[in-house]
Structures are given as structure tokens and as C-alpha cells.
A and B are shown apart, each in its own frame.
Chain A
Amino acid sequence: MKKSIPFLLAVFLFILTGFDNEQVYYGPYNPVFMLRSEMEKNVKLEGPKTILNPGKIYLKDHFIFINEKYRGIHVIDNTNPEDPTNVAFINVDGCIDIAMKNNVLYADNAVDLIAIKLDEHITDIEVTKRIKNTFPEPVSPEGRELTWKERQAAPEEAILVRWDLN
């Protein structure tokens, strides 16, 4: 029996190498990347936008902050609870979570943690602090990570900021 082991191993290896069953599943979501420099300068205050894919909600004084998943934060003026008004949108790529202390809004900018200083009426914002690579890459809504082909195709300095539905 011992003498036949090398032969059996050789046959086994040939059998193993005769198949290629790898199936790469991409799913319904496609990754979207940004170069770091682009991502950092794209944190900006914009006019109000329609809420399409809401995430977490944060209440601070008379403002309501609603996360638009992977894209930013809606600012709702709730001075009159009978008639809340969508007043602004803070563009933060890759944002899925927010918190606030005093007049500083903390958010995840994809893999970075940033602190955004807001003025009283939210007419201007300033990124006062950025801690790079604090968070892992965002997984897709279905829970998958990047495949190796996706990693291979992405530019070296690119950061995954969101997943778009096909």
C-alpha cells in the first residue's frame, strides 16, 4: 500500500487540477469608488435634496439630521414641528452613521471619521478634523465585500464610498 501512495497522490493532484469551479457572484450592487483627494474635497454643503434612501436620524435642538445612505446628511429645520422644512444637504460620500456634540457633527466619510463644524443656521460647514482609515470598507446592502476582480480593477488610491444598484 505504501508504494502506491505516491501514485495515488499524483492521480489525485491531476483530478484536482482538472476543474475550475470558481463562480464569481457580483450581485445586484456595484461598488463606486473615489480617489481620496476627491472624496475629501467633496464634503460640502448643498441645497436640499429629496430623501430617497434614509438611514439613521439624529435630533439636535430644532434640527433633524437624516442620513441618506452612502451619500450624506439631510438637514431638516424642525422649528415648526407641524411643518418641518428640508433646508440643506451635507454631501458626505460613504456616510452611513452620524452623531453630534454641541455644534460639531461627526460622520463617517467612507473609511474616515470626520468632524464637521456647523454654524448656528447651517449656512456654512467646515471639516475641522479627519481621522483617516478609522472604519472598514462599507459592505454592500446584501452584506458582501469586494471580489478580487473588483479590487484588481479599482485604482490603487481609490476608496470604496458606496454601492449602487444595477
Chain B
Amino acid sequence: MKYLIAVLLLFPILVSAQNDSEDIREEKSFALGVVPQYAITNGFRIDLDFRLNDKNHWLVVAPQMYISSKSNLDWDYNSMAGGGVEIQHKIFMKREFSEINPYFSYGPIFSFFSVKDDGLAAQEFTENGGNYIGLVEDEITTNIYKIGGNLIFGLHFLIMDNFYLDSYIGTGIRFSFDDKTSGLHDYYNEWWGDMGYSGTLMAGGFRFGVMF
């Protein structure tokens, strides 16, 4: 496993090393990419990168979609759907693109999840003139809202002029709440990848795409 992760981490460098050209001076103004690790949480994310000016500032708009009709290894829900968007201000260290382009970025993120799960629902009944409330098993829907932000440092590898690989790492913070409890329960907040996580976290991963 250790070697597999090491290979994955080094893969962009190995690929970019095949390109013998010097600094790529061609102006890039748009990039379209995907972030494969979102599939782990039944998600799909597209990164749209727009160059803001003739300098090294970019705007990243990253819509996300989540959908699952069955439970997975981490969750035991009946179904889940959601969406979100992350907006980042990305600043490359160098104004001109070359094979390896370090950058840092920051910005807010918002996510929404609607989770259907087996649960309990209140049911009123009358007994001896009094109005009582019992609980019956039912499918309940919990809406989870998560906001936060990330601060990222990454290496952007430009490959064959129009393709890129990007490995990044950073930190972030999340605040989550739902529409069912006064405070989001630990069930949805056990680790930093959870739908209802609140707290600081380590961000990291890969993305790849095309660049024009």
C-alpha cells in the first residue's frame, strides 16, 4: 500500500518529466477538470478554472453533485442526494505557465445533503383523555447543510500543453447543521469526511483535466 500511494503521489512528476520542452509561454485562460476521489463519497466534482487577468490569479468554480441509492461502506442510509459548490481564488507562484506550477488557493465551500434513512417518526394517540406521542418506525429525511472554507497548496503539472494533473494538500474548516436536531448528532459527524462534519480538517487529493 505504501508503494502504491508513493507511486500515485509521484505520478504527475513522472508524467510531466516526459515533456522536454522549456517553459510554456502560451497563455491559458480556462481549464476543465475532475476530482476523482469524490467518487469515494458518491460524489462528482467538476472544476472550472477561469483566468481572472493577465497575471497569475484564477477563479475556480467547482460544482459538486452527490447521489446514492443504496448504502455504502461508510453509510447505512437508504438513499442520499446532494450538491454543493466550492469557489476558490487561486494564485500561481509564477505568472507564466511551465511544466510544474506551484500555487495556493483559498475560498469558501458549501454543501447540501438530503439523506433518507430508516428512523422513527412521532405518532400521536389518545389514552384516557390524554394526548400522547409515541414513536413508530418510518423513513425519515434529514437535510444537512455544510459550509466552510479551504486553504490549499498544490502543484499543477502541465502535460502536453493542454492536459494537466494537479496534486494538492491543505487545510480547511467546516460547520454543519441539519433540520432534525438542535445540534447535528455525532452519527453524521464522526470523521472529517462525514456529511455533517464540523471542525478543522486536512484537505488533499488529485485532479486532472484539460486546459486552454
| Chain B, range 131-176, C-beta contacts under 8 Å to A | 131-135, 140, 142
Q: Is the CB of A152 within 8 A of B181?
A: yes
Chain B contact patch, size range: 20 to 34
User: Does chain B have a CB within 8 A of A149?
Assistant: yes
The 8 A CB mask of B66-107 against A (1 = contact, 0 = none) is 000000011110000000000000000000000000000000
User: Does chain A have a CB within 8 A of B17?
Assistant: no
Q: Known contacts A11-B5, A20-B76; decide if A158 and B185 are in contact (CB<8 Å).
A: no
| B128 partner residues in chain A, CB cutoff 8 A | 46, 91
From A32-40, A58-66, A113-121, give the one contacting chain B: A32-40
Which of B73, B76, B132 is the one whose CB lies under 8 Å from A161? B132
Minimum distance in angstroms from B29 CB to a CB of chain A:
35
Which of B75, B121, B132, B134 counts the most chain A CB atoms within 10 A?
B132
User: Does chain B have a CB within 8 A of A155?
Assistant: yes
Which of B128, B140, B180, B193 counts the most chain A CB atoms within 10 A?
B128
Q: Is the CB of A153 within 8 A of B122?
A: yes
Minimum distance in angstroms from A53 CB to a CB of chain B:
15
The chain A residue with its CB closest to the CB of B76 is A20
The 8 A CB mask of A17-34 against B (1 = contact, 0 = none) is 111101000000011111
Q: Known contacts A20-B73, A22-B187; decide if A32 and B132 are in contact (CB<8 Å).
A: yes
Which of A11, A13, A93 is the one whose CB lies under 8 Å from B1? A11
Q: Is the CB of A153 within 8 A of B135?
A: yes
Interface size on A, residues (CB 8 A): 35
Q: Known contacts A18-B74, A34-B130, A153-B140; decide if A7 and B185 are in contact (CB<8 Å).
A: no
Which of A10, A20, A91, A155 is the one whose CB lies under 8 Å from B133? A155
A33 to B124 alpha-carbon distance, docked (Å): 9
User: Does chain B have a CB within 8 A of A50?
Assistant: no
Chain A interface main SS type? mixed
| B75 partner residues in chain A, CB cutoff 8 A | 20
A44 to B134 alpha-carbon distance, docked (Å): 22
| A161 partner residues in chain B, CB cutoff 8 A | 132
Minimum distance in angstroms from A45 CB to a CB of chain B:
12
| A11 partner residues in chain B, CB cutoff 8 A | 1-2, 5
| A93 partner residues in chain B, CB cutoff 8 A | 130
A17 to B194 alpha-carbon distance, docked (Å): 9
| B76 partner residues in chain A, CB cutoff 8 A | 20, 22
User: Does chain A have a CB within 8 A of B191?
Assistant: yes
Q: Is the CB of B120 within 8 A of A153?
A: yes
A67 to B186 alpha-carbon distance, docked (Å): 38
| Chain B, range 175-192, C-beta contacts under 8 Å to A | 180-182, 185-187, 191
A31 to B135 alpha-carbon distance, docked (Å): 7
Which of B1, B120, B130, B191 is the one whose CB lies under 8 Å from A16? B191
Q: Known contacts A7-B5, A16-B191; decide if A34 and B132 are in contact (CB<8 Å).
A: yes
| A76 partner residues in chain B, CB cutoff 8 A | none
Q: Known contacts A152-B185, A153-B140; decide if A158 and B122 are in contact (CB<8 Å).
A: yes
| B74 partner residues in chain A, CB cutoff 8 A | 17-18, 20
Contacts A33-B132, A148-B181 supplied; 4 other A-B pairs, CB < 8 Å? A18-B73, A31-B134, A150-B120, A154-B122
Query: What are 21 of the A-B contact pairs (CB < 8 Å)?
Result: A7-B1, A7-B6, A8-B2, A17-B73, A17-B191, A20-B74, A20-B75, A20-B76, A30-B134, A30-B135, A34-B132, A35-B133, A149-B119, A149-B120, A150-B135, A151-B181, A152-B120, A153-B119, A153-B135, A154-B135, A161-B132
